[in-house]
Amino acid sequence: MGNLDISRNDAAVVDAVLVIHGGAGTILEENLTAAREAACYAGLEKALKVGYALWQAGADALSIVEATVRVLEDDPIFNAGRGAVLNDQGIAELDASIMRGVDRMAGAITGVTTIKNPITLARAVLEKTSFVFLSGLGAEELAATLEEVEIVGQDYFFTDERWKQLQAQRASNSVSLSEDNKFGTVGAVARCKENHLAAATSTGGMTNKRHGRIGDSPMIGAGTWADDATCAVSATGHGEFFIRAAVAHEISARMRHAKESVSVAADGVIHEELMTMGGSGGVIALAANGDAALPFNTAGMYRGVIAADGTLATAIYGKR
């Protein structure tokens, strides 16, 4: 495949098998220490390599995105799972969703506080219940019956960095999407060797958010979408706007009804429709033929892609 350039805010690539993000926002090079920047790149690369190994082994797309997102959930550098931001009560309150493109089956959970890997519980909702979306105690009661879902205490999620961020927001009586106005979410979209698609998204939401607040990440059609006929999408941004614009589904709808390519559809939603509404953030979108788009209308987006031949690229900052 040769060089893989995802440095632009509207990058498009071909022959991708896995695309990931770790949040978007005012991510400026001068605001990241060399150590933190290196940790971000290392986390993205590790997630890509885990997912790619599964792709090479012939895993289905759902398994690839779940395993990839689990790596990001386990990495405290990102706002999902361990190291998630804290709400107004000082609690990590987690959301996740996952969707399979071959039959548009989906699973989602919101407001859980004891689940080590929320994306795995979201998959269990998809595969082991007749529902799509479970919240709070109901989701955690299901988790307690499942061997594959690990239950942990709040101390597992806690980091000093997130506590300091919460205190800063409390002091200013404000709500932040996380450090440096970053929309902290992680996500993955993948296609398997049979060219079926899947998408997964996981988040801790906003620092100092009102407890019970739900953003776009667990909402099918807003933060997550997968349909083999069009594309798989995972979003990161100001969730209220992404919900109102049904961003993930809108990209798919443009491809289905207007016959737009994945890059044209994703760029149109992120750089035009969303910005007209006042919303900011980005998406990763992948079509079954391997065409992928990574548009964002913020200063940066933690992102990465790996192609069928193993070529890998990661990026943080943006340029137009």
Catalytic residues: 185
Q: How far apart are CA 217 and CA 206, in angstroms?
A: 12
3-state helix, strand, coil in the chain (%, to 5): 35, 30, 35
Hey, is 286 helix, strand or coil?
strand
Using DSSP bridges, classify how beta strands 16-25 and 182-183 pair: parallel, antiparallel or unpaired.
antiparallel
Q: How far apart are CA 11 and CA 183, in angstroms?
A: 19
Region at 23 (left for phi over 0; alpha for psi -120 to 50; beta for the rest) = left
Q: How far apart are CA 221 and CA 192, in angstroms?
A: 21
- Show Cβ contacts of residue 302 under 8 Å, excluding neighbours closer than 6 positions: 21, 22, 23, 24, 27, 40, 44, 78, 316
Question: For the chain, how many residues are written?
Answer: 320
Asked if 101 and 196 touch (Cβ cutoff 8 Å), the reply is yes
Hey, is 175 helix, strand or coil?
coil
- Within 10 angstroms of residue 38's Cβ, the number of other Cβ atoms is 11
- As a dihedral over the C-alpha atoms of residue 218, residue 99, residue 60, residue 56, rounded to 10 degrees, the angle is -50
Token pair for 270: 């992120």
